[in-house]
Structure 1
Amino acid sequence: MSTKEEIQEQLQKAVSEEPHNINKILKLTNKLASLDEDNVRFSVDAGVIDRLGKELVARHETAVSELIKNSYDADATVATLNFANVDSIGGTLTVEDNGNGMSRNQLVNGFMRISSSDKIHEPVSPVYKRKRAGKKGIGRFSAQRLGDKLTIVTQTSNYKNALKVVVDWNKYAMDEELFLIQNKIIEIPKNKDIVSGTTLIIENLRDWWSEAMIKRVYRYALDVIQPFPISKKKIIDNKIADSGFKIICKKNNNVIANEKSMFFEHALAEIYGYVDDNGHAFWEINNSKLPDVETKKPQIIFDDNDNHAQKYVYLKGIQLKAFYFVFNVNLIPKQIESYIRSATDEQGGIRLYRNGFRVLPYGEKQNDWLGLDESVRKRKVLPVHGNNNFFGFIQIEDKNKNFQELSSREGLFRNEAYDELIDFSYKVLIAAIIRVGRERGVKITTDQKDWDAKYSRNPKEALLDAADDLEKLADDLDEIADSTEDTKDESDNQDDSKNKKKEEQNAKQKEKAKKIRDKAKSIRDAVERIEEFNMLRVLAGLGLIIGEFTHEIMQYLSAFKIDSKFLIDNLKKSTEEYKRAVRLKETFSSFEVYTSYFDETISQNVNRELKPIELRDVIKPFVKSVAPDLKRNNITLETDYKGYDLFTCKMHVSEWSSILFNLYSNAKKAIKRSNKVGKILIKAYKDEEKVYLEFQDNGDGIPAENRDKIFTAFFTTSSPKGHKTNMKNELSGTGLGLKILSDILGSYNGDISLGNEIDDYSTNFIIELPVATDEEINEYGL
């Protein structure tokens, strides 16, 4: 081992003779520091990169969504992802954006610096002033989590060349000093197709990717997606207006997820309206999911009396386009519906563009500039048409000079042109949703004549009619109160006592109206659950049969145990009869564990209250119940809990019995087909927003071509049954189990998906559910 003096001499020589050999100088400096007898310093093992990658970014979908958010933070307007050759491990992911790019300083002291403070010092992006979406410092670890090798190519608008860095994550092995590992940075010619931007190429991916996983990446990045037409850049008060952000996800260069496939193709109807050069307004419906809804030709808008074509003086050249969504009526797939609804709640409505520039605040949350939400509350027109039922925009061409912006640059003057615009837009949307509503067979207005004769009503529809009538009664009461108020205002000479009495009467009228509306809302809330109650009634009947069966079986188990013990005590151990008696006792013991578990689960159904579920509290009794069956089938089962308080959103505990037993049954069959010594692993963990459960087995796995089919009703991997099969075998592979689990979890805004296998396991089901809120945990004293 070299002495302190020898190392100092070597260091001096390196600095004077090899000043460009920075790595050699660093190594000698590190050795010299380790011999310091008066001071100690922290050092960092290179293996920390691998550990941080796995611990900070547990799921590969999350890792990719973090890279997308980094593009958003860099003021990109589009990020394009391409997953190449990813049906098995070892593929390549390319992430390209047209953001600001990184300078050498930003690349070296930002991206390549662990726990950099850039996003703390600069909480908003430089151009569009976006609030940073990416988690601080996770981007680099996301890249490590995804693959073995990362290539970064980045260019800025004000530098002549692009920069390229290649990071081989395999260099970051344990027992190596982190700061001694070097990554070459070189300058290369710019990509002339973009002004600035960054491309990440991640090679030798650690996971395979299905189309469902790629779509999940899109959903995970939803909070930065703006599903609207990209507007032109506009400078307001020396700030460039944000022109939106789009994501395109491809697999082998074929589009898998973009705004069209993930949003607009699920719209019930595409509505279009315009005003021609004569001032006549037209509307039409394109690409509807319902038959006979699409208009064969543009429909003209009539005046309020329906006598003459409406003529607009100030709206020549105006265009409107909107995508219309109706929720909770089985028109959109459940998983897709949940995130589309989330997006419409935050960003739904009709936005306004002038010559390609966004005009605020129209279409912002809580901005009901067209009166759509107000119209829903008044219930003059019944088909749903609130702002959260639309993604749309209105385009005003620059040649139309009738609209003037306010001096604050926020909004337009309320002139005649503005009033015409509201009238035109509202009429286009209402005409379209009425046409859609008629085809759906829903009531259009509260006083619609002969509706019963055309559409036979079921109890659900009758209840909705009753709610409509209550709403109309509430409206009438409000109108009476308002008219009385108007009369009082015009009669200033009336004495105070009469005015006070009128005020009290008006207050009572409005209070009655409020109570009636609350009752109508209660009816509608109940109606939403009718279909669920019908299914629950069927399942309840089945549950009663199972409960009675379990109860009866429990009565006989004691006798079985006594009789089997008698046989064991009175038979010679060397006989075949004794062996059979011992096996019989073991079988009855296993059966007793099963029946006790089901008996307890059925008993819990008496309590219908939903509450947060700690995953340990459902996994442990399940493992205990299947222990005898595991032993009999030579399967080992392990559990792995990461963290504490793994509480899900409010659920019913018995639903977890269905979930776990279904997954166990599938795993057991897969293991049997594989002829292996069986292994099952159940993992439970959480992050800030979700609780996760992974159920892994080492059976025969699921072929790549079936990965996107297994949650489809009646799709099964079980072998076809012969025509002489018994009922038990016939029902064991119907292909409904995973579909039912998906529906259970989907009802709680959760999900079940097929994930990448780990270690010696061949199948990995991943369940995710919203984590319980602090209020829910405190409510139940958990």
Structure 2
Amino acid sequence: MTEKLSFEADAALIHRLGRELVARQETALIELIKNGFDADATEMSVVFTQGAVGPALEIRDNGSGMDRPDLINGFLRLASGLKVQSPFSSKFGRQRAGRKGIGRFATQRLGDHLVLTTRSEHATRGLRLTVDWTAFTRGRDLGDVEVLLDEVEDCSTGTTIRIQHLYDDWSDAQIKRCWRGVLGLQQPFPVRPVTAALKSAKVDPGFAVRFFRRNELLSDEMAVVNLQTEILDHLHAVIELRVDDAGKAAWSISRNRFGSTRDWQTIHHEHLESGNPPPYKSLKNAWMKAHYVILDPSLLPNLVYTRLRDELASQGGIRLYRNGFRVVPYGDPDNDWLRLDEMYTKRSFLAPLANRNFFGIIEVHDPDGELYEEHTSREGLIENAAFSELKNLASSVLVTAATRISEDRGRKTKAGGLNRRKKQASDAQEVLSKISDAIDAAKEATERVANESTNASALAAVAKVEEASKLLETKRIEVESAEQQMADEAAMLRFLATLGMTTAEFSHETGMTFEAFRLDFGRVFETVRSVAESDPVLMNQVERASGMLSRLDTLTSYLNALAAARSVRGIREVSLGKAVQEFERGIAAQAKAQNIELSAFTPPYDPLFTEPMHEAEIASILLNLYTNSVKAIKRSSQKRKISVMADRMQDADRVRLRFYDSGDGISPEIQERIFDAFFTTSFSPPAGSKDSDHATGTGLGLWIVSQIVGNVGGEVFVGQTMGDYSTCIEVQLPSEKADEA
């Protein structure tokens, strides 16, 4: 006999799904906020209350609300397909952000009692759903647990979710993490008024979320976090742009903490010197509002600086909205559509104008699609005349405004002519001698007074003068020792300078003749290949010689570039990222010849500028670290690998270089000594070896690195290894001053 059965669900399934699908309380709250976004809400308030019945949470939105079928077929039906069937919201056409079917479990995850009040736009009455999650106990059928649905009279359009008897405490830090989790859904701020005509066209006015704490006994509601308090209140300036329906463009600085504001001024990026520039031919109806910040710890409170730096690293830049809808990928991380990061990298302007210095949006109004056209993939706009004019104009306005603000701060705005401050040297011995004479005179005077009187103060003064005399003598000996050390180092530096000049001259001379040298040997190799194809030994020697010639050519070119950099005596900000990339290109062939796997990693849009220094100093650091690594690798039987990584330290105003190798490592007992002059871990070659063999392993490489790094206020030390690398030398250099970043 065949029976027809069906699955049944235990009521405890609700609790299990709630915990497994929504593990963290922050995730649960974020999902409920996303549901408000999906319901076309423009405003949402999240209120944490403390009353007589315990902590509660209210989430209020002004969205489209729900009617009875929405509640029954959506909220009360597990695994409903409403979001799958309708991936876009009905009013503003938003792509739904909430995860499918998670909302009800999010409410269960947060507290044990739910009251959901909602009214759809065209309904005359609202609905109130009450759910006691504690009733969903093990052993009861899911369908046997009742929830209550009532009609309510006094109810505004939208949805209010009240969750009582919260399971968890909520700190301000957790609330702010939730706010950051939905920041991408929020249009930062309105740029232009939303007129009645635009409202009828269903233009999305944006979505804003605010978090509050309220004491129900005192009826006191206090803001915890919103866009204004978290970011906008701390930014230094507001830059605005408008283009009317005739193509006439104007810009202004409506807020400026460093000087006066700028009233609206007409502008055209191709007629910057004109007092009355012409209108744009294609660009119409565009607006921009950009908040601007200089990421300088001295200009911001410590906590605010850290928060803004982290937020703007991912959220900074200028987003683009078309007819109220966000156009991706403009304004996304690593998207430099206005070429702000590119200009910053070139250093044509010294004003801070990277994407991370701005937080803003551009809106364009083109309801008929006459000015802008999207790609078929709906990822970005086609490059036409209007879009090109928009990009050039916006970029010009941002650079102009940032330059004006730098002028208000008394900063240089264009690159060039930066010189290192030189301190006038003093003769330490002469100064110490004068101090010694003064102390001797004071000693004689106090001794005379003490001999003529038994006053305790006079005797104490004699003792203090005697102590000062001994301290001065100790310091004099230390100064003499330091001067001797400086003289030795000066002699060493003269030797190294001579060696460097000789190397530069050699690479220059070989470079001049290398072209003819390469062509002649190329013909020789071709001739040998044509007549000795049957001789594998000779062919192998020819290929080996050809490869060595190519490597010599590459290395000579790199040395020539290094010598050229050394010839520039001025100092300036140096891009660590660029130096690493050039090092990799120059050394790659030489490393490959020694079977070394060389890799380099730098950030894609951060050039990692250092404080002013000689460009050749960075190259010297890299070359010395490389030669040390090669020697260590040759002493090891491990796979030959070198990895060079450059990045920016997030908790300090420094850029960092990490040089990894798979050599024989550095033992802990010598890690503090490896940066001393003439200390080496290399073995001395036999007495009969060539002079060039003896010249290697002198113990100056890491000392040179430490001197360069120390002179600019940086640090170098043995860092933490990773993976199958045995050694890491970490170099930290001061980054360019924050007001030029």
TM-score (norm 1): 0.47
Select the structure of larger CA radius of gyration: 2
